Structure 1
């Protein structure tokens, strides 16, 4: 609905009668009545306005008629009172009424001047009602009308300035009540909803509630890519209308939808909270980047105001729409579509995030269909399992170990009475004396838990922060940066050593860990680089967010540390749990698998993870309910790396 009226009434006095009429005779000042009249016209509430009793009821009706679609538009009315004329039966005074109407969000207002006169009736000034009080050319039947002219919506661009979200042709499919007998409307609505796979009763109720000649939209589909929607079946149904339109859409219905978001008709809540900038029927961003940057993308609509009087219509005001501006992202359309294709068969929530380590640019942020529209890629919070061992290894390096330091991979390890074991199927020949490199390659839990006294929880948090996990950032989209507790002790600290306990990470955060090892320094991911021609602020370089105290700011990753981590992640591929990646074409592949168990033992599940990098591409893959990182997430990473060549 239109914006609520916010009246602001100003009355200017130009009373020229010598000495002032009220001062000489005791007659009331006409300025008071003029101000009251202006206020009543501005608010649209004529009760108590200085009108004759005979005019009051007609005035209220005609006010709404003349203003038409402008009736609820914010406006001011200013009253200028002229010189009192005492000729005739009673004193009169001319009044000019200057109207200023805030028709749209532009800086230009619609203004006009109408007139009336006040007549002294006993001890009160009243005005005779006439339509010309509302507009000088209203005559006896004048009506004002306004029409918003939509602005072209800005585009969401991808890497290299390629258009991701741009205008694409659609069908709006719905019931045209004007072309149906009233008795047939309910059956038609149920038939259409059933054909489209919608809730029949809900759509029938919505159709019944609409006006007698309304078009009630059921669904919007791409004109040349209907998916599973039976457009032709709907077209053949009685009372169904397909309306051609264009909407800003991504290449496919699923393309980065949780990140990019959607557009559609403005909701009542958005209209109410927009301070008049959004009106009913406007197309706005409803979620994701489309909503986050809606003000930039939607531009400013134009407005045309016309006056119809005496059978003729003329335009009295117009503003041109101002097209919205673009938002530029780093997404690579081809890589994003490959990632989504790989996740399409996965039933549980899943995600694949790809970064460019040299720049931090997010090339793909895909969430599978099991995520049901939630951006698992950027906001999903999960225990990272053994992928966190990259950070654990860094903490142990800082404690004085090297990749060749001897360690013991035992069948089990006990921490404060709790027994930990290695993953099911752990190779028997990997049990026994080994090195830190061997521990990371085979993902031995017990060896790392056995070394827990070398590092405390704060050491783990600081090491993770050096790799970007838990560090505040400005990616241009909402993100979960992750959290590593600094106060974990006992069995909880033991669990932290292998990426469980209270450690939480998103796929974006774990892709950042891999990218930081590849780059040799902490990477700050970025997904939105420019909004309306303005570059976003550089990525934050602050302390660990909600993970460390003020004394535990991220320590820089040294060249030697990065080299050691790369050596260990390469060993995962050549001699460990990700050997299936050893023959991927291109440069050497570095990886770390991870399996994080969750749930009670009888219904236990596992988050399947893998992180890795090749050349200037770092990737994290998560499947919420999988078998293991190597078996479930690993093949997805392999296919992505092969497709990225």
Structure 2
């Protein structure tokens, strides 16, 4: 649990002070009492009791972050003044604290004064007491996956570092350097931090899971003077790699988070710092237990009595669709990939995202769901649908030439394109072997709207609030005929994420535009396509994907059971190298039973050679 308390302030003086109420004098049609009451209620609501003296302004400071409404009854006149019943209504983090107090007004030659009673700060506060607010959060709710299997929960860790209280001052630098080397952290920064901290400090070097510590912590660590290892727990996923960017992390609230919370979060609170932990932080934190106390005395002799309190309320787990087995498998097949890579898997029958993994060496977070890259020839599934809607059929002839020129720009096929699939071939063969020139040669049949409509029918390029950071692709209008030709083969300005292309594969498999979702209890808010995918179109596209495996560019998947459909993609980007060759991204999308998957590798040789083996390992 996390407990935070407001700081102590100077206690109230033990006497009642009569002061002019902000210098107000009678100046209206009556004797000014009504205005004096209004000014008092406004001052109390604004947590500004400086006009009441006696230190009350400082005593109210621990409550300054909470909204307060004060309403006044009609004043009751007395021989030497008036009394006014005040109704207080505090909003304490969603709870209400209501009570009544009486303010005593005295009329003097200078106007109305009010008695500076500590009860005007808080119900029941007496002379010599101050306010303390403590907040204690319940245990943070877990994040669970498919089958209610716990994903993120408290798991054992060990904190490795230097305990300065165990050694002499002249040993600090040497011990810190030895500890840093033993646990594999940068030596100089750790030594500098160790020397700056106090003589009794524990200077943390790293926090490790038991399985990571076994491989990382050097033998002999315990013999280093001052080296300490403290067992603890942290909110963690099953493994260090498990959907780490998507699930996010939890840590102590930063100054920025505290400032933006409008008093809801205090220093020392544990909050979500990234991913789902940050997006759903309020839901996962639950409601803290809060006690507002009156405190008298100092230090160990201080006495506390509760003025009011509320119990904590635990949050419900955040239920996701992630499948532990499939997510672990996704992490495993990306483990050896260098550079940025990602894999997303979806259930076509439901749209549930069952795996969303970024490669261990990826230096960009959330590539799986938010990456924006040209999808290359995986986009030809969209182009194929657009051509079918233009009146073509799978067996219609197209010309797969060596090159095709559009407005002076020469397009070609990939380097090892099979000679047997050139010349007059069918549309199915063109998709199976990924012939660029054949599709570009049919560009007169299409326009921007037909590509956009086909993309939307397959769930690509649509706007949707999925409840987590996501990019479902973009198919902007082409600014030239050359750009449109490039768009048809997934280059130009067409962009997609691995999530978007997995959605395309899932939509082909399901026979309708799939709306991907990660949260089990929330359906994505997305409009249906204007021209939905028909059963006949879906069947033809499924045949195209199967042909890619049986006779085309993904024959390495032919031996998998159940049968697989796929589409490879190689997308050029960036600047050419010394040989004039452009670097390429590698893509592959695939379907197998009730599973659709997309793999992306930023630095690849081709989609088939680089992404293909990853898909094969994942599906096998």
Q: Same fold (TM over 0.5)?
A: yes
Verify: 1:606 aligned to 2:594, yes or no: no
Indicate which of 281, 290, 293 corresponds to 2:268.
Answer: 281
| Of 405-414 and 290-299, the range deviating more from structure 2 | 405-414
Q: Which residue of 2 aligns with 1:328?
A: 319
Q: Secondary structure at the match of 2:463?
A: coil
CA distance in structure 1 between the aligned counterparts of 2:222 and 2:255, rounded to whole angstroms: 30
Matched, 1:315 2:291: no
Contact 1:467/1:513 (<8 A) preserved: yes
> Residue 162 of structure 1 is aligned with which of 112, 133, 149?
149
Contact 1:68 1:143 in 2 (8 A): no
Using the size of structure 2 for normalisation, the TM-score is 0.82
Equivalent residue of 1:278, what SS? coil
Give the whole-Å Cα distance in 2 for the aligned partners of 1:362 and 1:96.
Answer: 59
Change (3 A) 1:82 1:190: farther
Q: Write the distance in 2 (CA, Å) between the matches of 1:146 and 1:232.
A: 47
- Paired residue for 1:620, among 594, 598, 601? 598
Measured after TM superposition, the shift of residue 462 of structure 1 is 2.2
Partner of 1:583: 559
Tell me whether 408-417 or 347-356 shows the greater mean CA deviation.
408-417
Which residue does the alignment assign to 1:569? 545
What are the superposed Cα offsets for residues 84-132 of structure 1, whole Å, 9 maximum, x if unpaired? 455xxxxx76787776654x4132327585x786666653555677867
Whether 2:614 is the aligned partner of 1:639: answer no
Distance 1:175 1:512 in 2: 49
Consecutive unaligned residues of structure 1, counting only runs of 5 or more, are 5-21, 52-58, 87-91, 531-535, 544-552
CA offsets 1:238-291 (integer angstroms, 9 cap, x no match): 777766554432112221122112222122222222222222222222221122
Post-superposition offset of 1:609: 0.8
| Pairs within 5 Å for 1:533-548 | 536-537=522-523, 539-543=525-529
Q: Which moved more, 1:313-322 or 1:483-492?
A: 483-492
CA distance in 2, matches of 1:130, 1:232: 66
* Alpha-carbon distance change, 405 to 218 in structure 1, aligned in 2, over 3 angstroms: same
**What is the CA-CA distance between 1:416 and the residue it aligns to?**
2.1
Q: Note if 1:430 corresponds to 2:421.
A: yes
Structure 1 residue 374: deviation in Å? 1.2
CA contact (8 A) 2:6 2:134 kept: no
Alignment of 1:84-163 (within 5 A): 84-85=78-79, 102=91, 104-109=92-97, 113=101, 123=110, 141-163=128-150
Residue 329 of structure 2 corresponds to residue 376 of structure 1: no
The aligned residue for residue 380 of structure 2 is 389
Matched residue pairs, number? 590
Q: Distance in 2 between matches of 1:208 and 1:133?
A: 49
SS of corresponding position for 1:608: strand
1:597 matched to 2:572? The reply is yes
Report the CA distance shift for 1:138/1:451 in structure 2 as closer, same or farther (over 3 A): closer
* TM-score (ref. length: structure 1): 0.79
Could you report, residue by residue, the CA deviation over 1:209-252 in whole angstroms, capped at 9, with x for unpaired residues?
A: 88998777665544665486649988777777766554432112
Give the distance between the partners of 2:194 and 2:509, measured in 1 at CA: 57
Consecutive unaligned residues of structure 2, counting only runs of 5 or more, are: 8-24
Paired with 2:401 and 2:239, the residues of 1 have a C-alpha distance of 50
After superposition, where does 1:327-406 map in structure 2 within 5 Å? 327-372=318-363, 374-406=365-397
Q: 1:187 to 1:418 in 2, by over 3 A?
A: same
Q: Contact 2:6 / 2:133 at 8 angstroms: preserved in 1?
A: no
Secondary structure of 1:637's counterpart equals helix
Offset at 1:381?
1.3
Mapped to 1, the partners of 2:239 and 2:64 lie a distance apart of 42
- The 1-side partners of 2:261 and 2:293 are apart by 25
SS where residue 357 of structure 1 aligns?
Answer: coil
- The aligned counterpart of 2:472 is 481
Q: Residues 463, 318 of structure 1: CA spacing in aligned structure 2 closer, same or farther, 3 A cutoff?
A: same
Deviations 1:601-636 (A, max 9, x none): 326211111111111111111101100111100000
Q: Distance in 2 between matches of 1:421 and 1:135?
A: 79
**2:493 equivalent to 1:502:** yes
Q: CA deviation at 1:375?
A: 1.0
Task: Verify the 8 A CA contact 1:610 1:621 in the aligned structure 2.
Answer: yes
CA deviations on 1:486-543 (whole Å, 9 max, x unpaired) are 435422222223221111111111112212222222222222231xxxxx24552345
Query: Which residue does the alignment assign to 1:440?
Result: 431
1:244-323 to structure 2, matched below 5 A, reads 245-309=232-296, 311=301, 312-323=303-314
In 2, Cα distance between equivalents of 1:522 and 1:340: 27
- Aligned-partner Cα distance in 2 for 1:78–1:204: 59
| CA distance in structure 2 between the partners assigned to 1:122 and 1:177 by the alignment | 66
Structural RMSD (CA)? 4.0
- CA–CA separation in structure 2 for the residues paired with 1:262 and 1:410: 52
Distance 2:156 2:84 in 1: 53
**Aligned equivalents of 2:37, 2:126: Cα separation in 1:** 22
Instruction: Please say which of residues 152-161 and 233-242 is displaced more in the overlay.
Output: 233-242
Change (3 A) 1:127 1:228: farther
- Alpha-carbon offset, residue 467 of structure 1: 1.8
Q: CA deviation at 1:322?
A: 0.8
How big is the shift at 1:589?
Answer: 1.2
Q: Secondary structure at the match of 2:577?
A: helix
Say if 2:530 is the partner of 1:559.
no
Task: Quote the offset at 1:77 in angstroms.
Answer: 6.6
Query: 1:599, 1:605 within 8 Å by CA — same for their partners in 2?
Result: yes
Q: How does 1:22-61 map to 2 (within 5 A)?
A: 47=50, 49-51=51-53, 59-60=54-55
Distance in 2 (CA, whole Å) between partners of 1:215 and 1:460 is: 61
Cα offset, 1:379, TM superposition: 1.0
